[in-house]
A and B are shown apart, each in its own frame.
Chain A
Amino acid sequence: MIKKLLTSPFGWILGIVLSIGICLGALFMGSVDHQTLMNTDIGSKILWDIRIPRVLLAFVIGASLSLSGVLIQSNVRNPLADPSLIGVSAGAALGAALMIVAAEFVGFETQYYIPIAAFVGGILATMTVLKLGRNDLPGGMALLILAGIAINVVAASLIGLLSYIATDSALRHITFWSLGSLASANYFWLALCSIALLIVCIWLPKQHRKLDAILLGQAEANTMGVDVKRLQIQSIILVALLASLAVSACGIIGFIGLVTPHIGRMLVGASHRYLLPLSFFLGGSLLVIADGMARTIIAPAELPIGIVTALIGAPVFIWLLVREGRRLQW
């Protein structure tokens, strides 16, 4: 299967995207002039310790956010939903902001604690949403969405409060973190995010027709042999795992989870048999490209990747809305 995948057009595109991603940056690695540098310790360090983990992590996180987007949109049957809907991003951001401000007051090293705090925040927020949402009640999914909105509002106001009391450097740290960056990518995060993605990829192949059935409606899916409640809970837990790990590793990256599934649907329709693998590749490739742009536009400085994905994602999203509106005569 892996051989089939790597020799398919997807495999070729993936190879090209990853290669471009590895070459791009303040130091362009494809240039002949740098061949000598590549033979030095510095060149090798840039390649193996910085570029490769960063580009691979970008792909894994892009794929994770994109699959999360497909899962959450299908489960709530709302094309405008994204992983932040269940409060995971807001919870993670609150956890990170709390850690940044606490570190300023207490004075400890935040490098490793911020991602851990973000992960705990993301999972706690999702658990609160699940508890408040009570998916076992009639109309439970609507309750779940409203609970997600409430948690987002609470987290946003608490982050505002933390920003208000934060010192200048902490405030700058919170802002930069909330815009997302893959600069701190390493093999630890790559391994962790890859394991989570692998778990989801093992779980997904048996669910694609069930997810199609849910698109028709909960009642239809229930009477077509789908245990809807169970599938929704499993999906939300996996989305929380993927999204909170992604947010922990590189901050908040918007629009990939929202826009990529739509681009996928425009290409292959809504059937999950094709949409899931396509979203995996599209999400991963888009984030590698966005990260490449973030590293090169103002090189040697770096743009936060959240700004790049939002600048690309927002116009695409508006275009999709207008197109969808015209087609369905809203």
Chain B
Amino acid sequence: MVMSLQGLSLQRNGKKVLDNISGELVGGKIIALLGPNGAGKSTLIQAMARLLECQGRIEMKGQALGEFSAEELAQNLAYLPQHSQLQFPLEVEEVLSLATLPFNVTRLQQRQQIKQVIADWGIESLANKDFRQLSGGEQQRCQIARTYLQLSNMVTEGRGQGIWLLDEPTSSLDLEHQQQLKTICTQAAKEGHCVVIVLHDLNQAFSLADEIWLLDKGKLRAQGKTSEVVTEELISDVFNVSVRRIEDNEGSIFVFS
């Protein structure tokens, strides 16, 4: 187990944004956070990244999350936010290089790692461009590549299992790059990392995740193995839509009407 959450609660303006959430993040697993808008998915992932304080207890590798220094936290956890807000002319390569900030990496090693990640993600044409001038999807790919590079360094530095927190990473990606992200997430899980991913597409969550945490109004409505916990009735109730689950040999898909 790489992280445990015990009784997380948070109130904003009298409204419960998180209501007694508990759970465990295990290495080698992909967990999808699902739920309608305002369910608390982003808030929960931000709490896991120690970006906001809430009631309850979060432990990472047996130690309270608050006890980690900023550097130690970054050596164990990589976080991708929903949006990028860069206002200054940083090049893509410079953005990628920041992934090595918490690690003891020489400039030569850093250059080699950046070259590798640029090739892996097929972003050679973007490497020397001003990050602000990229499209939303291109920015998203570069940021995913940056957090993946941070995750890779956790293995290189012998930190072992890391946590990869992705907040709606597919929102600006086309189908090809959604597929690429799926492959990389699976690979990260195989390497022993725990991937937590906020998604809106149920079918994507079904094809990618080992576990689903379904949130509604700050509460965990369902939590467990993807195929077991998510039913037509539950989805209809939480998302207020009519839905049918179709099974075949290759798995199951949800069809909305």
Q: Considering the complex, which residues of chain B in the window 178-216 have a beta carbon less than 8 Å from any beta carbon of chain A?
A: none
Task: Decide yes or no: A77 and B87 within 8 Å by CB, A224-B98, A225-B101 being known contacts.
Answer: yes
User: Measured between alpha carbons, how far is A241 from B50 in the docked complex, in Å?
Assistant: 32
Q: Considering the complex, which residues of chain A in the window 169-224 have a beta carbon less than 8 Å from any beta carbon of chain B?
A: 209-210, 212-213, 215-217, 219-220, 222-224
Closest to A271 in B: B94
> Which residues of B have CB within 8 Å of A265?
88-89
Q: How far is the CB of B17 from chain A (nearest CB, A)?
A: 12
Q: Considering the complex, which residues of chain B in the window 90-106 have a beta carbon less than 8 Å from any beta carbon of chain A?
A: 90-91, 94-95, 98-99, 101-102
CB–CB B84/A216 < 8 A: yes
CB–CB B49/A223 < 8 A: yes
> Which residues of A have CB within 8 Å of B91?
269, 271
Query: Which residues of A are interface residues toward B (Cβ below 8 A)?
Result: 73-74, 77-79, 138, 209-210, 212-213, 215-217, 219-220, 222-228, 265, 269-271, 327-328
Closest to B95 in A: A216
Closest to B69 in A: A227
CB–CB A213/B101 < 8 A: yes
CB–CB A224/B132 < 8 A: no
User: Is the C-beta of B51 less than 8 angstroms from some C-beta in chain A?
Assistant: yes
CB–CB A217/B51 < 8 A: no
CB–CB A226/B85 < 8 A: no
Q: How far is the CB of A131 from chain B (nearest CB, A)?
A: 21
User: Measured between alpha carbons, how far is A287 from B8 in the docked complex, in Å?
Assistant: 55
Task: Decide yes or no: A78 and B87 within 8 Å by CB, A212-B98, A213-B101, A219-B46 being known contacts.
Answer: yes
CB–CB B88/A270 < 8 A: yes
CB–CB A222/B51 < 8 A: yes
> Which residues of A have CB within 8 Å of B99?
224
Interface size for chain B: under 10, 10 to 19, 20 to 34, or 35 or more residues? 20 to 34
User: Measured between alpha carbons, how far is A173 from B78 in the docked complex, in Å?
Assistant: 56
- Count chain B CB atoms within 10 A of each CB in A73, A138, A220, A271 and give the residue with the most: A220
Q: How far is the CB of B214 from chain A (nearest CB, A)?
A: 24
User: Measured between alpha carbons, how far is A213 from B49 in the docked complex, in Å?
Assistant: 16
Q: How far is the CB of A271 from chain B (nearest CB, A)?
A: 5
CB–CB B150/A224 < 8 A: yes
10 nearest A-B residue pairs (beta carbon): A225-B102, A225-B74, A270-B88, A223-B79, A225-B71, A227-B70, A270-B89, A224-B101, A219-B81, A270-B90
CB–CB A209/B101 < 8 A: yes
Q: How far is the CB of A265 from chain B (nearest CB, A)?
A: 6
Q: How far is the CB of B116 from chain A (nearest CB, A)?
A: 19
CB–CB B90/A269 < 8 A: yes
Q: Considering the complex, which residues of chain B in the window 20-78 have a beta carbon less than 8 Å from any beta carbon of chain A?
A: 46, 49-52, 69-71, 73-75, 77-78
CB–CB B150/A269 < 8 A: no
